[in-house]
Amino acid sequence: MKKAYPPVTFRTVAAPIALMLLVAGCAGKGELDESGGVTAVRSACPVVGIAAATGDVTLFTSPTSQDADALDMTALMTNVRGACADKVAGPKIATTVTFTIEGRRQNTEGARDVTLPYFIAVVRGGNAVTAKRISAVQLHFDAGQARASVTGQATATIDRASATLPDEVRERITRKRKAGDESAAVDPLSDPSVRSAVASATFEALVGFQLTDAQLKYNATR
């Protein structure tokens, strides 16, 4: 039975799918070809980013108030980076995502520990969540300290075969075209079947705070 996952809202991480073909993944290289164009090696690694409206969280002292005088603390997720084992042989590709959480509290009296849940979601084709895992980090504030930070980490795994373009699609996209040829003026990604194949083979590893419905609404409407 296919697993169902809670909804995740996404931001545009890389840009249109045509550009994503060139820059997607955590590794790649480009070089000038004979015609003066640019060729690129597409990585099967997922694009790494933060899901929309989940990169920060606000806590209040009262569950029934979101006024400024009820503000307890805020936390921001930043410095998101991915390390991908694309070159390691095997049917799976593992990506480790690291990030920093920076917190600020209003009341600095006494030491305090705050546990913040976060998630990593694997997204295929820009909108299909294929996996999601929830973990947590702990921010520690020393007495009198208003700011604290902690480093978090999450790992995502995808199927290498699913993230690899079919040979015929790759050949159509990377085929050398000479100026003046009729095919040189046709973008292969204008073909729906090619565009669909690229989207299907494109994955994202997105992190964010695991927010409540109220926290998501607050982030979306503030």
pLDDT confidence of residue 85: 81
Asked if residues 147 and 103 have their Cβ atoms less than 8 Å apart, the reply is yes
Percent of the chain with pLDDT over 70: 77
Q: Is residue 83 part of a domain?
A: yes
Q: Which of 18-32, 138-152, 179-193 has the lowest mean pLDDT?
A: 18-32
Q: Is residue 187 part of a domain?
A: no
Q: Is residue 178 part of a domain?
A: no
Query: Distance from first CA to last CA of the chain, Å, rounded?
Result: 39
Q: What is the mean pLDDT of the chain?
A: 82
**Structure tokens that stand for 163 in this block:** 């993230």
Cβ count near 167 (within 10 Å): 8
The DSSP line for 187-205 is -GGGSHHHHHHHHHT-EEE
Q: Which helix (H) or strand (E) holds 174?
A: helix 167-174
* b/e code 170-195 from CB counts within 10 Å (16+ = b): bebbeeeeeeeeeeeeeebbeeeebb
Note the pTM of the prediction, 2 decimals. Answer: 0.79
Average pLDDT over residues 66-83: 95
DSSP 23: H
Binning pLDDT at 50, 70 and 90, where does residue 99 land?
very high
Q: Which of 42-56, 94-108, 142-156, 184-198 has the lowest mean pLDDT?
A: 184-198
Average pLDDT over residues 187-208: 89
Distance CA 14, CA 16 (A): 7
pLDDT for 54 beyond 80: yes
Q: Which helix (H) or strand (E) holds 83?
A: strand 71-84
Q: Give per-residue pLDDT as tens, 124-146.
A: 999 999 999 999 999 999 999 99
Binning pLDDT at 50, 70 and 90, where does residue 32 land?
very low
Asked if residues 82 and 153 have their Cβ atoms less than 8 Å apart, the reply is no
Q: Is residue 5 part of a domain?
A: no
The DSSP line for 121-185 is EEEETTTEEEEEEEEEEEEEE-TT--EEEEEEEEEEEEETTTTS--HHHHHHHH----TT-GGGG
204 class by beta-carbon count within 10 Å (0-12 exposed, 13-18 middle, 19+ buried): buried
pLDDT confidence of residue 5: 45
pLDDT confidence of residue 30: 37
What phi and psi values does residue 21 have, to the nearest 5 degrees? -60, -35
pLDDT for 171 beyond 60: yes
Q: Which helix (H) or strand (E) holds 76?
A: strand 71-84
| Domain region containing 108 | 17-164+201-221
Rg (CA), the chain: 21
Q: Is residue 135 part of a domain?
A: yes
What's the structural domain count of the chain?
1
**Structure tokens that stand for 41 in this block:** 């090696």
pLDDT for 182 beyond 70: no
Q: Is residue 11 part of a domain?
A: no
Question: Pick the residue with more confidence: 1 or 51?
Answer: 51
